[in-house]
Every structure is written in C-alpha cells, then in structure tokens.
Copies of this chain bind each other. A is one copy, B any other.
Amino acid sequence: MTTSGVVRVRFVLSYDGKDFAGWATQPDQRTVQGCVEGALTRLLGSSEPARLVVAGRTDAGVHARAQVAHCDIAAQAWERLDEKNSGRSASVLTRKLNSLLPDDIAIHHTDIAPPGFDARFSAQARHYRYRVHDRIYARDPLVRGHVMFHDRPLDVDTLNDASARLLGLRDFAAFCKPRHGATTIRTLMDFTWTRDTHTGILDAHVVADAFCHSMVRSLVGAVLAVGDGRRDLAWLTEVLSQNSRSSEVRVAPAHGLVLEVVDYPVDDQLSARASATRAKRTLN
C-alpha cells in the first residue's frame, strides 16, 4: 500500500474530449490532466501539486470511457484524508472529485492500486472505438459529438478486409507522427468493423498493446479510403511498407474516437509487465 512514504491511488474516469486540448497538461490550455490534477491538489491540501500518470494520452478532441490513471499521494496526506473519513478515503475522493470537476469529466472509481501497478506501463492493451455514419438521411444529431459523418457510402466487408491486413506485430511508422527515440513497432490485436442494423452507425474496434501518436486515427483514415472505394488494398499494403509517415493517409477526425477500455494483467504480474514494457520502449 505505501512504499517510500507514498500511496499509489488508481482512478477510472470518462470524459467528453470536445472542449479539451487533449489529456496532457499544456500551458494555457484546458486539458483533462490539468482539470483532474487541479481538483486533486485542492482536495488533498498538500503543498506539492498532484501528478497523474495515464494509460492513454488522448489527443485534443478524443473522448474516453474507462480511462485509467494513477497518482502517488504522500502517505501523510492520505492518512489525513482517511482519519477524516473513517477509512473511506477512496470513495470520498471519488465523490468529492466529481463535485469539483466540470460535467465533461466523470470519475467512476478510485482505489488504492495493487503493488507494482503503473497505469501506463502495466497496461497490456488499449481498446479504442471509432464511430462513423455514412448515411446523411439517417444521421442522428444527438450523437454528432462522437460519431463522425463520412460523406461517401462505406462497405463494411471492404473495411474489414482492409483492416485485417494491418493486424499483427509490425512497424506502423507510416501511421505514426514521429517522436524522437520512440519505437513505432506495435502489435495490432484487433481491428474489426460492425454496422448497427438499427442506427446504421459503423463501429470500429481497434486494439493494440499500445499506440503511437495519432496511430488509431491514421489507421481508421487509411481504411476508410479503401472502404469508400477511393483506394484499394494494394495501396494499403504499399502504405504499410513505408518506413516513415505517409502523406497519403488522411488522419480521421478526433471526435469519432473513444478510448474505451484498458487491459491489465492479474495483480501478481503487474510489476513484471511494467518492467517488460519499460525495457521494450527503451530498446528502440
């Protein structure tokens, strides 16, 4: 529970990305991290500002359901909170954070993280969903904040054929904004499309061990070009073989994308997983 005077607290939260400049704190910008850290710092009343580590650093405009983050809180501050709240610090923190936070963020759950847990490095897989509507007649204005409207008809079988070509352990350099010293090798575990028969909305499920910057939206953008007939599978294969970012891939708009779930191993493997991830990321 407490190591070297800190308690690692785990948070599960959702947000509507529309009015945020993404997850990560940036000067003079409204960010999810900034809002949650501000509220936490205020609640803990500590001199040190709270710092969050997150599973998926979502870009500006990208949404999240069941995003996971952790924060190391000084054991003293935690004990103070526990004394005031008869040992129910975690649930009190959830309630108080929700009352301080704006209505585009919801904290679902707070608890003390199991030993070895790291929101970023212990994660095994990130599940994203991208939602598209391609029928203007059936468009529902109530969901336009998280369903992208595409003005050409899409074929779900073609989308699935194209997406299947991208699966596996590969270098996704063609789909990544380059970052110095960071690997672009990832394992794409799932990339499948379904169309809701009632609403007509197309829903892509995209799962990987981790994603590099703008990767999900680039993968979706590339596959959409095949799904609406502007490009073919040969083009996609050619793009995939490129070893730097392809200018031919249109990044799909942020508002269709939601980080849905983050997978972690069972508790006794959290630490091993974190070490393995750290080693892999440094290798490159």
Contacts and interface: CB of A to CB of B under 8 A. Distances in A.
A154 interface: no
Interface in A112-145: 136-142, 144-145
B14 A141 contact: yes
Number of copies of this chain in the oligomer? 2
A152 to B, nearest CB: 14
A94 interface: yes
Given A98-B136, A136-B98, A137-B108, A144 B103 contact: yes
A147 B160 CA distance: 33
* Highest count of chain B CB atoms <10 Å: which of A137, A138, A146: A137
Nearest to A138: B108
Interface in A84-112: 94-95, 98, 103-109
Given A94-B137, A109-B137, 15 more contacts: A14-B142, A15-B141, A16-B141, A16-B144, A63-B141, A65-B140, A95-B136, A98-B136, A104-B144, A105-B141, A106-B137, A106-B140, A106-B141, A107-B137, A108-B138
A162 interface: no
- For the residues of A in contact with B, the DSSP-based class is mixed
Interface string A65-84: 10000000000000000000
Nearest to A145: B142
Nearest to A103: B144
A94 B138 CA distance: 11
A258 interface: yes
Contacts of A137: 94, 98, 106-109
Nearest to A258: B142
A140 B143 CA distance: 13
A263 B15 CA distance: 37
A10 to B, nearest CB: 14
A146 B136 contact: no
Contacts of A149: 103
Contact of A145 (B65, B105, B145): B145
